[in-house]
A and B are shown apart, each in its own frame.
Chain A
Amino acid sequence: MDATVKQIDFRRNTQGVPPNIPASVQKATGRFLGIRAGVVGQLPNWEELREAAHNIRLHAINHLDHYLEMMEKRVTEAGGQVHWARDSAEAGEIVLGIARQHKVKAVVKSKSMATEEIGLNHVLEANGIHALETDLGEYIVQLAGTGPSHIIVPAVHLTKEDIAKLLTQKLGVEAPPDPFRLAEIARQELRQRFFAADMGISGANFMVAETGTLVIVSNEGNARMCTTLPPVHVAVVGIDKIIPDWESLTVLLRVLARSATGQKITSYTSFITGPRHSAGEHGPQEFHLVLLDNGRTRALRDPVTRQTLICIRCGACLNVCPVYNHVGGHAYGWVYSGPIGAILSPQLLGTKIAADLPFASSLCGACAEICPVKIPIPEILLHLRHRVAEGDEQEAAVSPVLARAAARLGAMVYGTPWLYRLTLRVLELAQAPFRRDGWLPRLPAPLNRWTMARPFPAMDGRFRRWWAARQRGKSQ
């Protein structure tokens, strides 16, 4: 994944979506939503948990400085080392520095959106260090040379036939299109790599400030492998992942897996505080925590958009989103996709780069209804649209001058009755050459963007005449 994305063109990206994507994406999202509904229904106090989860996460973000300092103190007391990275470049340098210090050649990685965000694999690769993704889905997309298309199922866009072909090509083994055999091939391949790795890199689902503990959930067990076997463990974690204490976990762990995969809890949840205390218990000799800002402090400044940072990355909003379900993850142009990507990317990358994304939504509101931490996503989408169109205290407007002028002109026309009537007359006359049976099947550029897909209804201006006639009829 490219960490130095220049400009996200959502419209163009959607045109490049392969035809099989909507069906395979919907198969996954439909499955998750179905199972989720079942496990959520078993909990009598789901709404109470959501409310508590929202309050706890917002409290943590609203006191972020306090909890970050506590986290740093506790990790250090536990024998770990804490690093602070303002941006991708700095985070990459820090990890590279640790790797060089230990003469690391082979890295095993468990799934982490933060490291995708900073393009860490490329940084390591460019310096002669191979970083191997070990989550099965991430491993597959790494072999394919693409990025993840779903936050929970990264290879959701590939069929078992695609994957079999890929493994056959890349590993030189006979790989049949059977999920069980393919998983077994990956297991055998990765097992030796886990044993040989000099360093394990992970993200974290939560950082518990109270004790300086990282919480990492996984189903495959690869996160445990990465954080147990190699002698050095480096965790790259966004500063937003902090929570106050272990009591908070009782709420957040309950809502996370249920929202993500419809499980009551994932197969494994690791709670890691610093490095091992003695060789006999296994685990890494050294533990490093890289606290990543990368635009998060910018998002904090605005109390409305700040709520984006309470996200726990479950992916439920992707599953329920009609737009995501039709275009898949890659159309969003960066690591975060779906509704959360549409609000997070413009804040982390800046509105200039991701101005398209707040508009990649129908504002249906399903995301806010399903969100386990109750992020008001539609409200934030509108807030960011306003930022794009007119600018606000955080950023200047980025929509084209012409579009802004057109919007102002439109407002004037709608607000001035005589001008409105005049415009209707003009448009009625102007459409005449294009009119066919009450429709406008073809219009010149740039209006053909609409008519390429469907005809536009011709304007009749009859309503006002009809209304006027009706009023006259009544008064007689």
Chain B
Amino acid sequence: MATRENSREVILADVRAGLGRAPGAPVAARPAIPPPRALGAPDQEIERLLSEIAALKGNAQRLASADVSTALADLVRAENVRKATQWSTAGLERLGVTSCLRGLGVEIVPSDAGIKVFGDVDLGITEADFALAETGTLGLLSSPAKPRQVSLVPRIHLAIVPARAFRADMHQVFEEAKKQGYLVFITGPSRTADIELTVTIGVHGPKVLYVWVVDGSWAE
């Protein structure tokens, strides 16, 4: 370990020598950043988000909270879902996602199941913390109630987006999220163009992305 301590000092000394800076020399102000985009009217923002995601071959729609159970039944049937896992947020609970899935005969796999079991889950359901209409981007945080693998390992990811998730720009998201330890932006399903530039959806991440902007006060 002694050499490593030394490497730190050597590298920092080389950096300072190269720049002609003394240790603790003053730091100029960070150059100016162009101002953020302004938030549009709520309906416009939702429309923009949905169209951006659709353009990336995601399945995006706007729903009334009363229609979530019907939409879930359609999804389970269309995608042949047998096992699902989900975030434990108050919002998803109020929407009755778990009981609805159980009623459809879907097995609920706990997020702390081992990877061998978790790897076979068909559907992961999250509640987006942030939504950026401009690029069709969802922002997801991480906590024991919001485990990271739910949006990553299952072959289908369903993100339910409340109205309060919308932010004008990355600036606002970063201001709120930067102290959280983890954030992931998800923009459309997993994709590659590595073989002859043919766009192929669903490589390592989810093959299918559903995004439902659900109206109502369920997430408040």
- Which A residues lie at the B interface, using CB under 8 A? 24, 27-28, 31, 45, 48-49, 52, 55-56, 59, 62-66, 68-69, 78, 83-86, 90, 94, 134-137, 140, 153-156, 159-160, 163, 179-180, 182-183, 186-187, 190-191, 194-195, 208, 210-211, 213, 219-222, 224-225, 228-229, 239, 244-251, 253, 261, 264-274, 276-283, 291, 293, 297-298, 300-301, 306
- Which residues of chain A are within 8 angstroms of B18 by Cβ–Cβ distance? 297-298, 300-301, 306
Instruction: Mark interface residues in B144-179 (1 if CB within 8 Å of A CB, else 0).
Output: 111111001100000000000000011100110111
Q: A136 with B12: in contact, given A52-B34, A271-B182, A279-B112 (CB under 8 Å)?
A: no
Please give the distance in Å from A440's CB to the nearest CB on chain B: 44
CA distance A408 to B164 in the complex (A): 72
CA distance A246 to B56 in the complex (A): 26
Are B19 and A220 in contact (CB-based, < 8 A)? no
Max chain B Cβ within 10 angstroms of own Cβ: one of A65, A251, A280, A297: A65
Q: List 16 A-B contacts (CB under 8 A).
A: A63-B27, A65-B19, A155-B194, A219-B190, A220-B192, A222-B203, A224-B184, A224-B205, A247-B174, A251-B33, A267-B205, A268-B184, A268-B205, A276-B142, A277-B143, A281-B148
Are A180 and B200 in contact (CB-based, < 8 A)? yes
Q: A155 with B195: in contact, given A90-B7, A245-B30 (CB under 8 Å)?
A: yes
B16 CB–A CB distance under 8 Å = yes
Q: A86 with B11: in contact, given A187-B204, A229-B149 (CB under 8 Å)?
A: yes
Nearest chain-B residue to A153 (Cβ)?
A: B194
Are B204 and A271 in contact (CB-based, < 8 A)? no
Please give the distance in Å from B203's CB to the nearest CB on chain A: 4
Are A282 and B11 in contact (CB-based, < 8 A)? no
Are B148 and A228 in contact (CB-based, < 8 A)? yes
Known contacts A220-B194, A224-B152; 18 additional CB pairs below 8 A are A48-B34, A63-B27, A65-B16, A65-B21, A90-B3, A94-B4, A183-B192, A229-B149, A246-B175, A247-B171, A265-B185, A273-B180, A280-B111, A280-B112, A282-B147, A282-B148, A297-B15, A298-B14
B82 CB–A CB distance under 8 Å = no
Q: Would you list the 3 A-B pairs with minimal beta carbon distance, nearest first? A: A221-B205, A280-B144, A300-B18
CA distance A276 to B28 in the complex (A): 34
CA distance A136 to B190 in the complex (A): 12
Nearest chain-B residue to A27 (Cβ)?
A: B197
Are A267 and B174 in contact (CB-based, < 8 A)? no
Residue among A68, A159, A245, A261 making CB contact with B196, cutoff 8 Å? A159
Max chain B Cβ within 10 angstroms of own Cβ: one of A48, A159, A228, A244: A228
Nearest chain-A residue to B3 (Cβ)?
A: A90
Main secondary structure of the interface of A (DSSP, over half): helix
Nearest chain-A residue to B150 (Cβ)?
A: A282
Residue among A156, A187, A245, A280 making CB contact with B202, cutoff 8 Å? A187
Main secondary structure of the interface of B (DSSP, over half): loop
Residue among A86, A160, A187 making CB contact with B195, cutoff 8 Å? A160
Are B27 and A267 in contact (CB-based, < 8 A)? no
- Which residues of chain B are within 8 angstroms of A195 by Cβ–Cβ distance? 115-116, 119
Q: A65 with B12: in contact, given A247-B171, A282-B149 (CB under 8 Å)?
A: yes
Q: A278 with B144: in contact, given A153-B194, A229-B149 (CB under 8 Å)?
A: yes
B2 CB–A CB distance under 8 Å = no
Are B33 and A281 in contact (CB-based, < 8 A)? no
B78 CB–A CB distance under 8 Å = no
- Which residues of chain A are within 8 angstroms of B28 by Cβ–Cβ distance? 59, 62-63
Residue among B8, B34, B193 making CB contact with A49, cutoff 8 Å? B34
Please give the distance in Å from A210's CB to the nearest CB on chain B: 7
Please give the distance in Å from A346's CB to the nearest CB on chain B: 17
CA distance A291 to B196 in the complex (A): 34
Nearest chain-B residue to A164 (Cβ)?
A: B195
Please give the distance in Å from A468's CB to the nearest CB on chain B: 56
Instruction: Mark interface residues in B195-220 (1 if CB within 8 Å of A CB, else 0).
Output: 11110101111100000000000000
Are A221 and B15 in contact (CB-based, < 8 A)? no
Max chain B Cβ within 10 angstroms of own Cβ: one of A63, A180, A190, A267: A267
Max chain B Cβ within 10 angstroms of own Cβ: one of A27, A246, A261: A246
Are B23 and A271 in contact (CB-based, < 8 A)? no
Are A68 and B185 in contact (CB-based, < 8 A)? no
Nearest chain-A residue to B112 (Cβ)?
A: A280
Are A267 and B188 in contact (CB-based, < 8 A)? yes
B191 CB–A CB distance under 8 Å = yes
B41 CB–A CB distance under 8 Å = no
CA distance A229 to B33 in the complex (A): 35
Residue among B153, B181, B189, B196 making CB contact with A277, cutoff 8 Å? B181
- Which residues of chain A are within 8 angstroms of B32 by Cβ–Cβ distance? 52, 55
- Which residues of chain B are within 8 angstroms of A293 by Cβ–Cβ distance? 11, 14
Q: A136 with B194: in contact, given A66-B27, A220-B204, A245-B30 (CB under 8 Å)?
A: yes
Are A31 and B197 in contact (CB-based, < 8 A)? yes
Are B178 and A211 in contact (CB-based, < 8 A)? yes
B100 CB–A CB distance under 8 Å = no
Are A267 and B34 in contact (CB-based, < 8 A)? no
- Which residues of chain A are within 8 angstroms of B174 by Cβ–Cβ distance? 246-247, 249-250
CA distance A182 to B205 in the complex (A): 16
- Which residues of chain A are within 8 angstroms of B193 by Cβ–Cβ distance? 153, 219, 261
Are A137 and B205 in contact (CB-based, < 8 A)? no
- Which residues of chain B are within 8 angstroms of A55 by Cβ–Cβ distance? 31-32
Please give the distance in Å from A323's CB to the nearest CB on chain B: 21
Are A271 and B184 in contact (CB-based, < 8 A)? yes
Are A220 and B191 in contact (CB-based, < 8 A)? yes
- Which residues of chain A are within 8 angstroms of B31 by Cβ–Cβ distance? 52, 55-56, 59
